Amino acid sequence: MKADKKLLTVALFGLMFMVACSAKTWQAFISGPEAVYLEPIETSKTNLCNQTINYAPSQYYPEHTPMRFIRVRFLIMQGIANDPNTLSEEEAPAYVKRLLELVNERLSVNAPMTLPVGNETPALPTSYRFELHHDPANLDDIGIDFATDSLLAYFDIKSGVSGSYDKRAYEKYAKHKDEVLTMVMQEHHPDSIKSPTYSAKSTGTGFTNWVKVVGAKQFLETKILPDGTKEVTGHRMGIILHETGHSFGLMHTWAGDNCDDTPDNPNCWDRNSEKCPDGIYSNNVMDYNNRQNSFTPCQLGIIHFNFSTLGRAQRKYLVPVWCEYKKEASMAITSSAEVWSGAKDLEGDIIIQNGATLTIKCRVSLPKGAKIIIKPKGTLILDGAHLTNLCNQNWEGIEVWGNKTERGSLIIYEKPTIDHVANPVMLPGPAAQ
């Protein structure tokens, strides 16, 4: 028994010695003298923050592009009260709910490009979804507005007055214009549909602040589910993605879209076209086809550039999720050469792990309570970056970790702007080094 006690005592002293001799990690918000200034490694005067391709989600680190949520409202036009030719107030909620579910499902899987044949274009995550807007001042609001107008309820592709580019329904009846993307739902005029020479196709038009969708009621179907309930089907997913693509800054692939990775094809947008090689036709969202389930990196770069650029019209209908700190949204940097050349709106901390290096060249917004952590063997490089908070609050600051032998490093190439921060970083000038 005495021998056992002696062994236990030796073991306890050994453990205490190991703990006492181990390198303790300390944490402190960085101050000016701890920054190292170096000469810029690039001499190019090109502003990388304005290059749209730098905003495409990363193929290897998709989590570095936080999800965007677009607020939408639906404006359903009716020719008369209880108009049988348009979506009714009873049909509309189920239709809208299911439509957004299916659109978001399609956005969750960006399909590989079918054209050109043999292409190796990466299928990057889209990193955006749609969310139905509800007026916070009205608890009964369902995100759907109805307007009765015998003239503006109907679409006529042959008419120069009520055709694709007629904006009067939106201008007169849309609500919350400054904070949402509006989906204006119109129908072909019933008299036009009766004409054998009229092409009553499902169609639409995309504008910066709103989208016109035609034919919801015309192609409406009701599916009886196994439990006996009804599900409204006949949705216009492709039209929504295509027309909102225009809203987000995309052009048709054949119309000079400034994207080298979109398919160049001889009018091959349908499997029945004689121009389609081996029956393979385009599935790109910005072509005309019945799939419309693929975005290229260039297209996603344009979309996220417009979402990320302060003052852009597309940014105003985003849900500002970047104002609330979420620990689970913290971003771990593990690469030895990670470079951010596009603006970002983050929801948590940036944690630069041991052996990792993060270079920031553009604006990064962090929420209240968030900080940038540089672990003992990590490196943060600021090359003209702007670290800030966009919600009239303060983020915490840059926290460096270290121990007896190592500490995290902050390197400056071009002097950054660091503001709205609780623990200011008083950066010395290069001459002070």
C-alpha distances (whole Å) from 135 to each of 71, 171, 198 are 11, 19, 39
- Give the model's pLDDT for residue 43: 57
Residue 238, CA distances (Å) to 102, 244, 268, 369 in order: 10, 10, 17, 40
Q: How far apart are CA 400 and CA 252, in angstroms?
A: 48
> Can you tell me the distance from the alpha carbon of 99 to that of 348, in angstroms, rounded to the nearest whole number?
31
DSSP class of residue 256 equals -
pLDDT of residue 255: 83
pLDDT given at position 116: 87
Burial class (CB in 10 A: 0-12, 13-18, 19+), 228: exposed
> How many C-beta atoms lie closer than 10 Å to residue 190's C-beta?
15
pLDDT at 289: 84
Task: State the distance between the two ends of the chain, measured CA to CA, in whole angstroms.
Answer: 64
Q: Give CA–CA dist 346/6, Å, rounded.
A: 55
Residue 233: partners with Cβ closer than 8 Å, 6 or more residues away:
98, 220, 221, 222, 223
Q: Which domains does the chain have, with CATH numbers?
A: 24-50+326-432 (no CATH), 56-308 (3.40.390.10)
Question: Each residue of 90-135: pLDDT tens digit?
Answer: 989 999 999 999 999 999 999 999 988 889 999 999 999 999 999 9
- The pLDDT of residue 22: 46
Distance between CA atoms of residues 152 and 273, nearest Å: 35
Q: Are 42 and 145 in contact (CB under 8 A)?
A: no
Overall size of the chain counted in residues: 433
- Which residue is it, tokens 């500490």? 407
pLDDT at 18: 41
Classified as helix, coil or strand, 324 is coil
pLDDT given at position 218? 82
Strands 338-340 and 357-360: parallel
Tell me the mean pLDDT per 10 residues along the chain, length 433. Answer: 47 41 69 71 76 96 95 94 87 92 96 91 97 94 95 80 86 96 92 80 91 88 81 83 97 90 79 73 89 96 98 96 97 96 97 97 97 96 96 96 92 93 81 48
Q: What pLDDT is recorded for position 4?
A: 52
Distance in angstroms (rounded) separating the CA atoms of residues 370 and 331: 11
Please tell me whether the overall predicted TM-score, pTM, comes out greater than 0.85 for this model. yes
Give the residue among 385, 346, 384 at the shortest CA–CA distance from 368: 346
- ∠ CA(211), CA(217), CA(223), 5° rounding? 120
